[in-house]
Amino acid sequence: MSLVRLNIKGISYSQTQNGAYALILSEVDGDRKLPIVIGAFEAQSIAIALEKEIMPPRPLTHDLFKNFSDRFQIVVKQVIIHKLVDGVFYSSIICEREGIEEIIDARTSDAIALALRFKAPIFTYKGILEKAGIFLKSGKKKKDKKVDEDAVIEELLLSDDAESVTTDTDELIDVSLQELNEMLDAAVENEDYEQAAKIRDEISKRN
């Protein structure tokens, strides 16, 4: 089966169910996107890797794995989302050390968090993308192939597969920009990276 390369479009969260996250992947040479429900910790770790402004004072689990791998000269070459069963995605991390390649099974969220840190490409099989991918509303595919992206993601996040966290973003709406920056510093200092990512999103919206 042919592989399709994916990029990370971003992380979406439910507008109606507090704390539900979806990682949105998009195919490099096409209009389809692949939404994957992930946990709060993994969402936080991916957000930190995407947003270079947030620097944790101590390494997160995925940072520790990267440091460990660097020390022992292990390189993550690529990540492949290779299977979809009952709504659950399965992934493999392709590693290499001293010219010897190894394949390691991993949760998709962990695999992508590591791919970001190693700057490794992310792939899936064409069949998985055809089964679980959604077309952009502005895509050039046939009308019956187009869907309301936001509605699909919201439905996904409201499903039983969605993982719950406790961060509330509504509380940030009435906070001043100066206070947001102070809250961001405090969140990083307290190692509350989930809240830090939310505050950074709110700051970015206002800038």
Coil, strand or helix at 59:
coil
Is 62 within 8 Å of 38 (Cβ atoms)? no
Between 17 and 51, name the one with better pLDDT.
51
**Per residue in 83-136, pLDDT tens?**
998 888 999 999 999 999 999 999 999 999 999 999 999 999 999 998 888 864
**Per residue in 141-178, pLDDT tens?**
444 444 555 666 666 665 644 333 333 445 677 788 88
pTM higher than 0.75: no
How large is the angle between the packed helices 108-118 and 61-71, nearest 10 degrees? 50
**Per residue in 190-206, pLDDT tens?**
766 667 777 877 787 77
pLDDT band at 57 (very low <50, low <70, confident <90, very high): confident
